[in-house]
Amino acid sequence: MKIIIVDDHEIYRKSLVKIVSKILPASYIKQANDGRQFLELLSEGDKIDLAIVDIKMPVLGGIEATRLARHLVPDLKVLGISMYHSEENRRLMFAAGAAGFIWKGGDRNEIENAITTVLDEMCS
């Protein structure tokens, strides 16, 4: 399983790497600081299975990055994340092509459940 974690907050991004590594110990995880770097990683040609993408980032935000990423890789599964509790952002992320969405304030179990749910959809 190949995964990209996209978040401009390094500490949070690294904590997501630890969570994903626990759920999927054999996974290959790349990291990006913003939406533009995310799209550059996708363009390298590796088949990425899952992207965990923050909504608010400098350079290129997660909503537009998700829209562009899904255009590049139509079967890419995206899990949107945000610290902003806005239903509008959630709605926009789903409209851009996200398969799931979680708030950053959620506990570790919520994050694990959201990742597992999106991955289960991939396998069904």
The reported pLDDT for the residue numbered 61 is 96
Radius of gyration, alpha carbons of the chain: 13
Place of tokens 């851009």: 96
The reported pLDDT for the residue numbered 123 is 65
If we measure between CA atoms, which residue out of 102, 121, 124 comes closest to residue 112? 102
Q: In the predicted model, is pLDDT for residue 65 greater than 90? A: yes
Q: In the predicted model, is pLDDT for residue 74 greater than 90? A: yes
**Domains of the chain, earliest start first:** 2-123 (3.40.50.2300)
Tell the burial category of 95 from Cβ atoms under 10 Å away from its Cβ (0-12, 13-18, 19+). Answer: exposed
The reported pLDDT for the residue numbered 111 is 83
Residue 124 confidence class, pLDDT cut points 50, 70, 90: low
What's the token pair of residue 23? 């759920």
Q: In the predicted model, is pLDDT for residue 27 greater than 90? A: no
Tell me, yes or no, if the pTM score tops 0.85.
yes
The rounded mean pLDDT for the chain is: 91
Which residues on adjacent β-strands are paired with residue 51?
4, 78
Please report which residue ranges of the chain form alpha helices under DSSP H: 10-23, 35-43, 62-72, 87-96, 108-123
